[in-house]
Amino acid sequence: MTTIKTPRARRARKAGRRHPLASVALIAIGLLFTGGAYAAFSTSTAIATTDASSQQTIAQGEKLFAANCATCHGLSAQGSSEGPSLIGVGAASVDFQVGTGRMPMQMQGPQAQKKPVQFTAEQTAALAAYVASLAPGPAIPAAELLDSAGDSANGAELFRINCAMCHNVAGAGGALTEGKFAPAIENVSAQHIYEAMITGPQNMPVFNDMNITPEDKRDIITYLKYVEDNPSPGGLALGSLGPVAEGLFIWIFGLGAIVALTVWITAKSN
Amino acid sequence: MAKDDNGAEHVTAADSPGAQLATSAASTAVVTRDALVNPGFPPHRPRITDLDHKEERKAERAVYTLFYVSIVGSVFAIAAYMAFPIVAEDPGSVRLNNLFIGLGLSLALLAIGIGAVHWGKALMSDHEGVDERHPVRGTEPVRARAVEIFQQANEESGFGRRTLIRNSLIGALVVFPLPAVVLFRGLGPMDQDPVALLNETMWKKGVRLTMDPSGIPIKAADVTLGSSFHVIPEGLSEMEHGRLEEKAKAAVLLIRMDPADLIESDDRKSWSYQGIVAYSKICTHVGCPVALYEQHTHHLLCPCHQSQFDVENHCKVIFGPAKRALPQLPIAVDAEGYLIAQSDFTEPVGPSFWERA
């Protein structure tokens, strides 16, 4: 234990060895690339341009419905033990559920989850036209309500009162009971946000136009887009999840640094 | 090394008793009092800076470089304060300002700390030493002298003899903290009974249910199936004083569900209107706002401690630490079709308190 290596010998041995953190860095880079590639592939959506009212579109929608939806929702959308009735849910509901990939459902579970979209924009529009033709219901919102050019301060107040308890004040989402959850609203299109408010998908309550007026809904969307487009003034947001993520970060990295410094201070110098 | 007044013979760091203890423990005639034998110091290991003059120079260079880096950090922080001012209405400028000042200041302080520790570890003398813990009790002469000082002080001041002075001083010290009691009492509600304040809210017969934050009254027809409205009493949004105090008690969640799903007790059948029910939003556990409403399961979740309330069944607790159901606000519809309260809540809202009836 008292043998002392000369500095030269130590340096020579070090040069021939890979840095201990090299494998960690390699794995991190590999994971980053895989995740990035997946994210790039899985975010592709389109906008509907089909004329919703024509009889031809409705007939096409009926065929698509019979082939893809009728198993659970019934041949005339009357509902069954597997799925609810779709009479009166409106075009907005179909556009939201099918346009975000939640329908057709992959499997029964606590709630239908977002997944890659199964239908093209025209097919989605045809399905929406068919369901809207069954009974009146909430329509797909007009483009001028979706321009995110409203009053973001008013939108933020309404969001804090009506939405933030479930969706998090920055729209990062949150947990509900028994496996259900309020999804994150980052990178959701303005049209889908609006449709979710007027139709109340899954366990979300309905926010009709008497509760939150169309202009107020436009303000809420403006606020959400503002949050999305502007960087967090506090720097790294850690997912905007609040005290859990922030606490975990400071416990691991803050206390970790203190422990490392303490070990270094008390260790004997070479 | 200096001696202290407790008179323990002080050991300098160099002549530590580690070696002596080791020899006494080795003797077979002596029963050791401690099962763990003091192993003494590990053999002295010279540092590389003690052996290699080049390394010593290198360490010296590292230390003074760190101190210069600290100077750079401090200057950088001052420069950053001027170069990245906080511009009103621009959150991005706050971020840059904080980031660069913080970087400069942490560099300034960290470099001093790391430099000082490195100096101590690599360059300062590294002989090992032990400071023995000395007994707490002082020596007899010191203790006798202390008693003597007290007696002398008592004699010279007349503290024990002049009882009127002594007692009036004790009295003054006892009365002295009383103003603080009065001042702290002034922070609480002065002209009202706090128990009554906690028992009552703004709701009373005929008060319309209005939307938070606009204060627009709500018609029963506006509340469609599956809707949830966040409700404040009429007049609260125009209040200038004590608005938040009142809101904290009077906030209500208004929900409409299929009347067939509602399980109502006989005495509360008249409290709802065609499947529209109103419940206090203040959790009965510790008072968080309970508003995570699930449209299909009719469950209300409190985000703070995961208490769950069943809206179908008078908001009874079905999970979590809350002990009481959420208080229900009895509602009705007035002649114009607006929702009104039938009365205040019939029990205090929110968490328990001592005098809660």
- Contact partners, residue A184, CB within 8 Å, separation at least 6: A167, A168, A171, A172, A173
Say whether B319 and A177 touch across the interface (CB within 8 A).
yes
Nearest CA in chain A to B95: A233
Say whether B55 and A7 touch across the interface (CB within 8 A).
yes
Q: For residue B32, what pLDDT band results from cuts at 50, 70 and 90? A: low
DSSP helix/strand/coil, B350: coil
Q: How many Å apart are CA A4 and CA B87, to the nearest integer?
A: 58
Can you point out the beta strands (E) in B89-236? 209-211, 228-233
Mean confidence (pLDDT) of chain A:
85
**pLDDT per position as a tens digit, A142-182:** 998 999 899 999 999 999 999 999 999 999 999 898 889 99
**pLDDT per position as a tens digit, B200-226:** 999 999 999 999 889 999 999 999 999
Work out the angle at residue A225's Cα, subtended by the Cα atoms of residues A222 and A230, and round it to the nearest 5 degrees.
120
Positive or negative torsion for Cα B220, B246, B290, A154: positive
Is the pLDDT at B107 greater than 50? The verdict is: yes
pLDDT at residue number B324: 94
Can you point out the beta strands (E) in chain B? 209-211, 228-233, 252-256, 276-280, 292-293, 299-301, 308-310, 316-319, 331-333, 339-341
A230 neighbourhood in chain B, CB within 8 Å: 91-92
pLDDT at residue number A48: 44
Closest CB to B308 among A177, A205, A233: A177
A34 Cα to chain B: minimum distance (Å): 31
CB-neighbour burial class of residue B340 (10 A; exposed 0-12, middle 13-18, buried 19+): buried
Is the pLDDT at B10 greater than 90? The verdict is: no
Question: What is the CATH T-level fold of the domain B196-341, as seen in this structure?
Answer: Rieske Iron-sulfur Protein (2.102.10)
CB-neighbour burial class of residue B291 (10 A; exposed 0-12, middle 13-18, buried 19+): buried
Distance of CA B167 to the CA centre of its chain: 42
B247 Cα to chain A: minimum distance (Å): 13
The residue with greater pLDDT, A213 or B188, is: A213
Say whether B301 and A235 touch across the interface (CB within 8 A).
no
- B76-97 average pLDDT score: 90
Is the pLDDT at A3 greater than 50? The verdict is: no
Question: DSSP secondary-structure letter at A238?
Answer: G
- Contact partners, residue B204, CB within 8 Å, separation at least 6: B341, B343, B344
Nearest residue to B304 (alpha-carbon basis) of A67, A235, A185, A244 = A244
In a domain? residue A132 = yes
Nearest CA in chain A to B47: A270
Distance of CA A217 to the CA centre of its chain: 19
Question: DSSP secondary-structure letter at B62?
Answer: H
Say whether A203 and B296 touch across the interface (CB within 8 A).
yes
Closest CB to B294 among A203, A206, A211: A203
Give the count of domains, chain A. 2
Domain endpoint, select from A90, A110, A138: A138
In a domain? residue A188 = yes
The residue with greater pLDDT, B298 or B191, is: B298
B95 neighbourhood in chain A, CB within 8 Å: 231-235
Nearest CA in chain B to A227: B91
A225 is in which domain, residue-wise?
147-230
Cite the residue boundaries of each domain of chain B with CATH code 2.102.10.10. Answer: 196-341
Is the pLDDT at B23 greater than 60? The verdict is: no
| Beta strand pairing call for B228-233 and B339-341 | unpaired
CB pairs under 8 A between A and B: 98
Nearest CA in chain B to A198: B227
**Which of A131-140, A165-174, B6-15, B180-189 is the least confident region?**
B6-15
Closest CB to B222 among A1, A204, A211: A211
**pLDDT per position as a tens digit, A179-222:** 899 999 988 999 999 999 999 998 999 999 999 999 999 999 99
B229 Cα to chain A: minimum distance (Å): 7
Mean confidence (pLDDT) of chain B:
88
Q: Which residues from A are below 8 Å from B when comparing CB atoms?
A: 1-2, 4, 7, 157-158, 161-162, 165-166, 174, 176-178, 180, 182, 200, 202-208, 210-211, 230-235, 264-265, 268-270
Q: 3-state SS string over B284-313?
A: CCCCCECCEECCCCCEEECCCCCCEEEHHH
Say whether A233 and B297 touch across the interface (CB within 8 A).
no
Say whether B299 and A4 touch across the interface (CB within 8 A).
no
Consult the annotation and say whether A259 binds a ligand.
Answer: no
Is the pLDDT at A268 greater than 70? The verdict is: yes
pLDDT at residue number A46: 40
In a domain? residue A219 = yes
Say whether A205 and B228 touch across the interface (CB within 8 A).
yes
Nearest CA in chain B to A84: B296
In a domain? residue A6 = no
Say whether B46 and A4 touch across the interface (CB within 8 A).
yes
- B26-42 average pLDDT score: 71
Integer-rounded Cα Rg, in Å, for chain A is 26
Domain endpoint, select from A115, A138, A161: A138
Closest CB to A206 among B99, B126, B224: B224
A208 neighbourhood in chain B, CB within 8 Å: 222, 224, 227
Q: Which two tokens stand for residue B354?
A: 């001592």
A92 Cα to chain B: minimum distance (Å): 16
Do B172 and B308 form a contact (C-beta atoms < 8 A)?
Answer: no
pLDDT at residue number A19: 74
Nearest residue to B325 (alpha-carbon basis) of B342, B340, B345 = B345
Q: For residue A234, what pLDDT band results from cuts at 50, 70 and 90? A: confident
Q: Which two tokens stand for residue A119?
A: 């239908």
Domain endpoint, select from A107, A138, A169: A138
| Beta strand pairing call for B308-310 and B316-319 | antiparallel
Is the pLDDT at B13 greater than 60? The verdict is: no
- Contact partners, residue A113, CB within 8 Å, separation at least 6: A102, A106
B171 Cα to chain A: minimum distance (Å): 50
Percent of chain A with pLDDT over 90: 53
A112 Cα to chain B: minimum distance (Å): 13
Is the pLDDT at A28 greater than 90? The verdict is: no
B255 neighbourhood in chain A, CB within 8 Å: 205
- Do A119 and A152 lie in a common domain? no
Say whether B295 and A234 touch across the interface (CB within 8 A).
no
Query: Phi/psi class of residue B262: alpha, beta or left (left: φ > 0; alpha: ψ in -120 to 50)?
Result: beta
In a domain? residue A44 = no
Beta bridge partners of B233: B209
Is the pLDDT at A43 greater than 70? The verdict is: no
B55 neighbourhood in chain A, CB within 8 Å: 7
Interface pTM, i.e. ipTM: 0.73
**pLDDT per position as a tens digit, B155-186:** 999 998 999 999 999 999 999 999 999 999 88
In a domain? residue A74 = yes
Cis bond leading into B85, ω under 30°?
Answer: no
- The amino acid present at A206, given as its one-letter code, is V
In a domain? residue A175 = yes
User: What is the domain-level CATH number for residue A200?
Assistant: 1.10.760.10
Beta bridge partners of B276: B256, B273
- Contact partners, residue A6, CB within 8 Å, separation at least 6: none
